[in-house]
Amino acid sequence: MNLQLLQTRLGYTFRDPGLLQQALTHRSHSSLHNERLEFLGDSILNCVVASILFERFSALTEGDLSRLRANLVKQQSLYEIATRLELSQFLRLGEGELKSGGFRRPSILADTLEALLGAIFLDGGFEHAREAIRAFYIPLLDSVDPRTLGKDAKTLLQEFLQSKKISLPTYNVVATHGAAHSQEFEIECLVPKLGIQVYGRGGSRRAGEQAAARLALDVAEQAMQKSPSAARKQKPRSAQLKLAGIATDQSADQAVAQGASQQSAQQSEQNQAESKS
């Protein structure tokens, strides 16, 4: 186990190697594990991330700052940082956790990252811990939109439609699949004014609604970019409705085809009348 490589990636070299070893030790390995360091690192992480956001986004409200921080310090975000550090190869796990794939488990990797931050704080002080955290998050904040980070798809769709003065979407359960203990919900999302009818699936009604909202937002943004005025007037088309491999009602296309046929017949009669006169 090349701990020097890990320290290079962290941007910090420990004076007390024992602290580093403890930070990497899961409770399944030995009694001297990293849970207390994790508690400490979690507090330091929240403090530093809050400070970064406060300095960087002076126009954001307290609510938006809280949303951003919660998104940046949640387990999934920490897991992604730990993955970039390839932290799994440095973990000290008990035999049972090794066999069950604990080195891949997001909760273990996220907790270990927090423990490392706590260990850096104890070994080198707050400034060193702060610099390590800034190195993780500044590149990320350079590439994200603070207005949308951490917002779910339903919220983003609602805000988009409200900004265009379009009525909010409606969601309907159209089908459930699978056994009772592992049901999958198929949810319809409708935005009539934009002619949008899409379907999403998920292991719960909420998850299905989020999936449908994500599709609807993509279609809505594309429609408004192509022709804002036309998008507000257009009628539902099955070309828009066939998303995520789910076939939809063809009645809209049939109606359009019938209309075109009637228009062609009317034009032909008009031409015949003109030739006779």
CATH of the domain at 14: 1.10.1520.10
Q: Tell me if 28 sits within 8 A of 36, measured CB to CB.
A: no
pLDDT score recorded for residue 28: 95
Q: Last residue of some domain: 84, 119, 141? A: 141
Residue 116 lies in a domain: yes
- Which residues of the chain register pLDDT less than 70? 148-150, 227-277
Model pTM?
A: 0.62
Residues 175 and 127 grouped into a single domain:
no
- Tell me which residue range forms the domain holding 85: 3-141
Residue 229 in any domain: the answer is: yes
> Is residue 226 in a domain?
yes
CATH label of the domain that carries residue 161: 3.30.160.20
Looking at the structure, do residues 16 and 134 belong to the same domain, yes or no?
yes
Q: Is 160 found in the same domain as 131? A: no
Cα gap 66→54, rounded to integer Å: 10
| 3-class secondary-structure state, position 58 | coil
Inside any domain, residue 201: yes
In a domain, 254, yes or no: yes
Structure tokens at 252: 């809209």
Examine the domain organization and report whether 106 and 201 are in the same domain: no
Q: Answer yes or no: do 131 and 207 share one domain.
A: no
Question: 97 an active-site residue?
Answer: no
d(CA 149, CA 174): 30
Please tell me whether residues 7 and 137 are part of one structural domain: yes
| Alpha-carbon span 207 to 186, nearest angstrom | 10
In degrees to the nearest 10, what's the CA dihedral of 66, 68, 74, 80?
A: -160
On whether both 123 and 182 belong to a single domain, the answer is: no
- Is residue 40 located within the same domain as residue 60? yes
Tell me if 158 is assigned to some domain.
yes
244 phi, psi to nearest 5 deg:
55, 30
Q: Is residue 148 part of a domain?
A: no
Q: Are 113 and 167 contained in the same domain?
A: no
Number of domains in the chain: 2
Residues 6 or more apart in contact with residue 140 via CB below 8 angstroms: 72
Number of alpha carbons in the 13 Å side-chain half-sphere of residue 232? 7
Together in a domain, 35 and 160: no
For residues 72 and 80, give the distance between their C-alpha atoms in angstroms, rounded to a whole number.
11
Residues 12 and 132 placed together within one structural domain of the fold: yes
- Integer Cα distance of 258 and 250 in angstroms: 12
Q: Is residue 118 exposed (0-12), middle (13-18) or buried (19+ Cβ within 10 Å)?
A: buried
Distance of alpha carbon 216 from alpha carbon 198, whole angstroms: 6
The answer to whether residues 37 and 111 touch, using CB atoms and an 8 Å cutoff, is no
Helix (H) / strand (E) element for 9: namely helix 3-10
Can you give the pLDDT at residue 38?
98
Q: How many CB atoms lie within 10 A of CB 78?
A: 25
* End position of a domain, from candidates 88, 109, 141: 141
Does the residue 146 lie in any domain? no
> pLDDT for 86-120, tens place per residue?
999 999 999 999 888 888 899 999 999 999 999 99
- For the record, the structure tokens of 276 come out as 């006779």
- For 87, counting Cβ atoms within 10 Å of its Cβ (0-12 exposed, 13-18 middle, 19+ buried), the class is buried
pLDDT recorded at residue 229: 53
Structure tokens at 263: 């228009």
Q: Residues 111, 114, 186, 188: which is the catalytic one? A: 114
Please indicate whether residue 142 is annotated as part of the active site.
Answer: no
Last residue of a domain, one of 118, 141, 164: 141
Give me the catalytic one of 42, 97, 123, 209.
Answer: 42
- In this structure, are residues 227 and 220 in contact, taking their beta carbons and an 8 Å threshold? no
Tokens representing 30? 């030995």
pLDDT tens track for 179-218: 877 789 999 999 999 999 999 998 888 889 989 999 999 9
Regarding whether 171 and 57 lie in a shared domain, the answer is no
